[in-house]
Amino acid sequence: MKPFALALLIGCGGGQHVEPGPGSGDPLPVYKDSRSPIEKRRDLACEAIQPKLTQCAVADAKATMSPKELADLKPDELVAKHKAEFLKQCKTSSMSSRQVRVLEVCNKEESACDPLAECLKNLEPQKNEK
């Protein structure tokens, strides 16, 4: 499996609901964030690392595909789709605090694609994690 395909398999998730605003008249909707603190950290980490992962996925495609395959894939057109799909998966999966920390640290410490992929291998759940 390609390193950045693995990154697409990780996930994160949070939900929000709308409550009526205070006051009389036509209240503006107030968005109450019902995510737990770990879900908020996870979602921030997903948003932060996503641009690097998308850039690495495009670079990987350019390095490993033939010119015809690359032309058929149109990687520059897939950037928005890759971003949306990654964030959807990342923000809807359950992660431990350790896994969220892995995302945070990998994003902060690794700027090159290969070291980033190596770092992200630490996302694998440990025996005591569910």
What is the C-alpha separation between 70 and 6, in angstroms, rounded? 20
What is the C-alpha separation between 2 and 120, in angstroms, rounded? 12
Residue 115 belongs to a domain: yes
Q: Using an 8 Å Cβ cutoff, are 130 and 110 in contact?
A: no
| pTM (two decimals) | 0.70
Residue 5 belongs to a domain: no
Residue 128 belongs to a domain: no
Q: Using an 8 Å Cβ cutoff, are 78 and 84 in contact?
A: no
Give me the number of domains the chain comprises.
1
Residue that is written with structure tokens 């890759």 in the block? 82
Segments forming the whole domain that contains residue 99: 37-122
Residue 130 belongs to a domain: no
Classified as helix, coil or strand, 15 is coil
pLDDT at 74: 79
Residue 67 belongs to a domain: yes
Residue 7 belongs to a domain: no
Residue 19 phi/psi, 5-degree rounding, is -120, 150
Per-block average pLDDT, block size 10, for the chain (130 residues)? 41 43 67 90 97 90 88 81 92 95 97 96 82
Residue 50 belongs to a domain: yes
Strand partners, 16: 33
DSSP states of 34-101: ---HHHHHHHHHHHHHHHHHHHHHHHHHHHHS-HHHHHHH-HHHHHHHHHHHHHHHHTTS---HHHHH
Residue 65 belongs to a domain: yes
